[in-house]
Structure 1
């Protein structure tokens, strides 16, 4: 189904983007709290919060591969203006968190489940002590996989969830699909240390005109410039191990979907070339077959980065997200 934003939502506008980012978004960012906690195997995992806007309700943003919470300042501003406290982490191996390989730009993880364990530690040590009445989750891409597995493993912790272009399947050429995972396993065994999967390279800024992520040039250039200003955030291609771990985790997120009890809104870009949109149907069907609440909304024409798209796609995504959370909200205490 398609979604049109109600008139009362007021999100950031492309036409005022530069002024908004340099003004109110930057001002809000100055009031953030940041910290580190110890994740699995003593890995330092970075987190950020923007609090004081709602004593009862918080949104946990779970970002994707190669991303950092620094990239999501505009989103945090929009969510805060809707009256929510906001929390986010940088997954192990990326952002401000400890890297998992000697090459700091290699996207690597030893076990995909470590992402879920780190998120649980974050919830237990940073968020839960705040005493919120309700917790909502917004996961994007790989963060959608992590969120899906978290929701299945800890069904009582999250009241409502939105998955933005979740990685329930990776877009792989049809002839490669059967061999992608075993090939990545073989390549990993041949490598003396974690290294890039075949065809993957260190970070480089793809030109806007050739990018599969977003059709919004001003947002796209902003986050590319952010990575130049903070080169420690740069992450390139995934390791061979990440590839087969990611494929397995995507499949597992569908297998475990019936265990999810929170209502889920799954947002899909019809022009997404990064993930396998067909896997979203399998995920929702698995939830619905178990009498769970999963709604799939397709944003026609949108690419993978739904939260960084042009306004005509991004605004319906944000409005659908807020509306979905509103349905699960309890009256404030």
Structure 2
């Protein structure tokens, strides 16, 4: 496999972290990263699905936590973000033609896992948009023994009265030639560099917030702005379909911040109530990114996740 850039200067990833170019089945070039090489006595490999706007270097510290608990970690930049191919002339727009395209990306990820001879069993950690993609992949028989989600996008946080309006606008934009335009209220600038720390929707940990800012200032090519109208339309369509499916038959642990304002907490509660082997943990006062919250929360998440994975072997 051809080596791809990996920004060690910002990643805080385990020694030996590396990245590769992988061509998806439809020709899209993806960046796949071995964030944590498996330790000699590895307990398995974690597939880490990132959120919208994210990139693999953001999860270097998470990979360090996983490696310390006996797991290798493989992740990727979804098409349209990070260093993977971006389909539009304006690279600041988060765009995908259909949400099903993300499943093609997962096929590329699994081919990489096989090429690198990563040890089974496999497990899933998925955040935000990666949680929606991951839930669909579990229905598609992604070969994992257990899954952990943080702030999964199983619904988008909108006031109830605005939800139908947003769906109509997204559908109109998608169908009338404005599908590549930014969704309402979004813009080209990435949120992390625009928002002040005070009352931000990502984390209550100032050090982690500043660290994320530093990453994008050092490597602005990783930044991404708001989603396109087509992305939003496809997201609504996919979430409606996922709501109609029964819960996957495997152990699951889902964490969500009590002050979550990006994804829809009621949708998460409904999904987890219907998940026989699932457990929901709500963290009072926490924001969207549990793995970027203060150290005590991060440690609790990785300890509980490693225990879940250990029981599932």
TM-score by length of 1: 0.85
> What's the counterpart of residue 38 of structure 1?
23
> What is the alpha-carbon distance in structure 2 between the residues aligned to residue 246 and residue 185 of structure 1?
11
Q: How many aligned residue pairs are there?
A: 300
> What's the counterpart of residue 280 of structure 1?
268
Q: 2:284 aligns with which of 300, 304, 317?
A: 300
Give 1:26 shift. Answer: 4.2
Structure 2 residue runs of 5 or longer lacking an equivalent are 1-7
Distance 1:224 1:309, change over 3 A: same
Q: 1:180 aligns with which of 149, 162, 166?
A: 166
> What's the counterpart of residue 135 of structure 2?
148
> What is the alpha-carbon distance in structure 2 between the residues aligned to residue 174 and residue 27 of structure 1?
40
Is 1:228 the counterpart of 2:217 in the alignment?
Answer: yes
Distance 1:22 1:115, change over 3 A: closer
Deviations 1:27-54, CA, capped at 9 Å, x for gaps: 725x112111112531101111032414
Counting helix residues as a fraction of each chain, which structure ranks higher?
1
Equivalent positions of 1:208-223 (< 5 A) are: 208-223=197-212
> What's the counterpart of residue 70 of structure 1?
57
Deviations 1:209-267, CA, capped at 9 Å, x for gaps: 14111000111111111011111101010101111111222233332243x12211111
> What's the counterpart of residue 138 of structure 1?
125
Secondary structure class of the residue paired with 1:28: coil
Q: Does structure 1 conserve the Cα–Cα contact (< 8 Å) formed by 2:42 and 2:70?
A: no
Distance 1:327 1:109, change over 3 A: same
Deviations 1:10-40, CA, capped at 9 Å, x for gaps: xxxxxxxxxxx989x74725x1121111125
> What is the alpha-carbon distance in structure 2 between the residues aligned to residue 317 and residue 251 of structure 1?
29
Secondary structure class of the residue paired with 2:274: helix
Give 1:280 shift. Answer: 1.2
Q: Does structure 2 conserve the Cα–Cα contact (< 8 Å) formed by 1:254 and 1:286?
A: no
Q: Does structure 2 conserve the Cα–Cα contact (< 8 Å) formed by 1:254 and 1:282?
A: no
Distance 1:328 1:246, change over 3 A: same
Give 1:99 shift. Answer: 0.5
